[in-house]
Structure 1
Amino acid sequence: MSRYEATFDINSKSDANAVRRLIDRMYDTLREESREIYQGDTSSNETLEQFKTLREAARRQSPGTLTIVYEQADESFDD
Structure 2
Amino acid sequence: MNKDLDNAIAQKGRHIGLVIAGTTVLWLATTLFLGPALGLPGRYALLFDLAALAGFIYAVINIFQLWRMRQDSQR
TM-score (norm 2): 0.50
Higher relative contact order at CA 8 Å, sep ≥6: structure 1 or structure 2?
1
If each structure's strand is expressed as a fraction of its own residues, which one has the higher value?
1
TM-score (norm 1): 0.48
Bigger Rg over Cα: 2
If each structure's helix is expressed as a fraction of its own residues, which one has the higher value?
2
